């Protein structure tokens, strides 16, 4: 991500969707569990 604020916002969006995040980098989010299309569509 470009800055710490961007990283915090991306983390917050994933947490609100119930998806735990391991790592956030420019253009890439690594999650603790596999996230499939069904999970993404629910949120």
Total domains present in the chain: 1
Cα–Cα distance, 29 to 8 (Å, whole number) = 12
Q: Is the pLDDT higher at 38 or at 23?
A: 23
Q: For residue 23, what are the domain limits?
A: 4-42
H-helix segments, 1-43: 4-16, 37-42
pLDDT band at 27 (very low <50, low <70, confident <90, very high): confident
18 φ, ψ (degrees, to nearest 5): 80, 20
pLDDT band at 1 (very low <50, low <70, confident <90, very high): very low
User: Which of 41, 15, 17, 43 is closest to 7 using CA atoms?
Assistant: 15
Residue 14, classed as helix, strand or coil, is helix
Q: What is residue 31's DSSP assignment?
A: E
Mean pLDDT, range 12-22, rounded to an integer: 91
């Amino acid at each position: 991500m470009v800055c710490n604020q961007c990283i915090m916002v991306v983390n917050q969006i994933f947490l609100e969707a119930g998806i735990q995040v391991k790592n956030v980098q420019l253009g890439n989010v690594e999650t603790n569990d596999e996230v499939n299309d069904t999970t993404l569509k629910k949120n």
